Chain A
Amino acid sequence: MNTRVLNVPAAGGRRRRNGVPVLLVLPFVLPALLLGGAELAVRAGVLPANLMPPPSEVARTLAWLADNGLGAHLAASTARVAIGFVAGAGAALLAGALVALDRRAAALLDPTLQALRAIPSLAWVPLLLLWFGIDELPKLVLIAIGAFFPVYTGVVSGFGRVDRKLVEVAQLYRLAPLALVRRVLLPAALPAILTGLRTGLSLAWMFVVAAELIAATRGLGYLLSDGRETSRADIVLAAIVLLAVLGKLSDMAMVALERRLLAWRDDFAGSLGGGYR
């Protein structure tokens, strides 16, 4: 009879090298390589510095902007995203819940909303400008439209896929319609709703840029278009970096919320204690 010895690596043996968890370092490898490569390429004259300013210059521009009104730009864009997202996501939660829970509301609303969803949201821009001028309102409406549809879809599919067997348990205990929503349907649909909210938030950032590129005097989108008009690639890149940072920060906040609310979930990402979703 053969005796086989399983060669199992000691716990953590793959994760740690010299005491530093590999998984914590790996995410920074590609950005460091790209930034270092860009810096070297510009200094060696491979890339034209006026079109591709080296990362060190972008950093200096960021520092200069910080003393010259960057705060106002950041505040303007963040406020627009916040207001537009809350309005769009709030409307979507309401409409989605109505459509998911009431057959008549579904027949009334869903076909129209699905048709509107098929319109690329940017196609609304000229109409919004005609209707609301170049004030704040068209920007907020555009962001709200962008955030609306992913949240709406998440809510409808989330409610629609609640396990019928769990609903039956609720019926056994004669839950009233409102209690059924609050105690069973909403928690069960929460994963899909949160996914919709997360997508909606990232779309809100996308549309704030679109809105500010077209007509604005403040905001990161304005910085982008201002940098292009004055041929300042360093300002354009600085604005892009800031958009990336803000987008990532708000997404991380959503992920933290997701982890908190969905700690009960029994799935692959949960068993990894996080993971990349």
Chain B
Amino acid sequence: MSFLEIVVDEKRYGERVVLKNLRLALARGEIVSLVGPSGCGKSTLLSIVAGLDKGARATVRLDGAALASAGSRDGDGIGFVFQEPRLFPWLDVARNIAFGGGAAPPAAAAVDALLAEVGLAGYGAHLPRQLSGGQAQRVAIARGLYTRPRVLLLDEPFSAVDAITRIKLQDLLARVARERGLSMLLVTHDIDEAVHLSDRIVLLDRQAGPPRAELPVALARPRARGDAEAARLKADILAMFDLETA
């Protein structure tokens, strides 16, 4: 049985059906990327898994236990990293990281360990406005990890940072996932990113329905960039989107 099981019968915005008859399963420690055209419902799918979407006919099971819809559980087992850092500007970095731990002062040891893990040791007392975009996203990752989730959901987490920062953050994410044995469901527009990070890539269609294709990424880890096998895989994926591989 799979670790995380997602079944979406139907999700619609008004008349438009965005997701329909979609099944997706993740094994423990597996990293899956969702790739597809804009508006195919990738982000909506993450919202459903996180319990943020109240209007979907869907069931999500984590380790065999059903996760009901929003409001009925205490964020158990699921962490979320958004496209933007979404830090609370009035809280310092330490309190932002510990936000999911309640209103009590943050557990210093846990926060320090996370800061070191994301490469921001000593930044606990900084305010969000003092951080660069990449640093802010590192804090967002640390916040996502603070509640010790078993699954981390990421919604185009690196699309707003420059190319070099993006590579560093991808390497950080790969290391964190490996060290923690974390399952990750990653929405991305960046096929290189999907190939570099995932164990499996799921391609969604603009037309709501089951995935167009699922491609295992059987590359050894840690992965080198510019690998010939990875380039072939990228070409395969692009071909499925009817694009020229320029």
Contact = CB atoms under 8 A, between A and B. Distances in A.
B29 to A, nearest CB: 22
Contact of A264 (B74, B89, B99): B89
Given A174-B74, A264-B127, A183 B86 contact: no
B13 interface: no
A11 to B, nearest CB: 21
B70 interface: yes
A187 B103 contact: no
A173 interface: yes
Given A174-B73, A174-B75, A169 B90 contact: no
Given A168-B52, A174-B73, A183-B103, A264 B84 contact: no
A55 to B, nearest CB: 45
A184 interface: yes
**A interface bracket (residues with beta carbon within 8 Å of B):** 10 to 19
Contacts of A166: 86, 88
A14 interface: no
A29 B73 CA distance: 63
B14 interface: no
Interface string A185-202: 001101000000000000
**A171, A179, A265: most-surrounded residue (chain B CB, <10 A):** A171
Contacts of B51: 172
B86 A173 contact: no
A260 interface: no
Interface in A182-239: 182-184, 187-188, 190
A103 interface: no
A169 B86 contact: yes
A165 interface: yes
Given A173-B75, A174-B71, A174-B73, A264 B103 contact: no
B52 A172 contact: yes
B82 interface: yes
Contacts of A182: 103
Interface string A99-116: 000000000000000000
Interface residues of B, number: 23
Contacts of A183: 99, 103
A163 B129 CA distance: 16
A173 B100 CA distance: 6
A187 B86 contact: no
B129 A187 contact: no
B50 interface: yes
A266 interface: yes
A188 B128 CA distance: 14
Contact of B89 (A168, A174, A179, A266): A266
A179 B74 contact: no
B158 interface: no
**A174, A265, A266: most-surrounded residue (chain B CB, <10 A):** A174
Contacts of A172: 50-52, 75, 80, 100
Contacts of B70: 171, 174
A265 B130 CA distance: 11
Contact of A266 (B75, B86, B99, B129): B129
B88 A187 contact: yes
Interface string B5-33: 00000000000000000000000000000
B50 A179 contact: no
B151 to A, nearest CB: 13
Contact of B99 (A169, A171, A188, A190): A169
A171 to B, nearest CB: 6
B84 A165 contact: yes
Closest 4 CB pairs of A and B: A266-B129, A264-B90, A173-B100, A187-B90
21 contacts: A165-B86, A166-B86, A166-B88, A168-B86, A169-B86, A169-B99, A172-B50, A172-B52, A172-B75, A173-B75, A173-B99, A173-B100, A174-B70, A174-B74, A179-B103, A184-B88, A187-B88, A190-B90, A265-B89, A265-B129, A266-B89
Given A165-B84, A172-B51, A173-B75, 10 more contacts: A168-B82, A169-B88, A172-B50, A173-B74, A179-B103, A187-B88, A190-B90, A264-B89, A266-B89, A266-B129
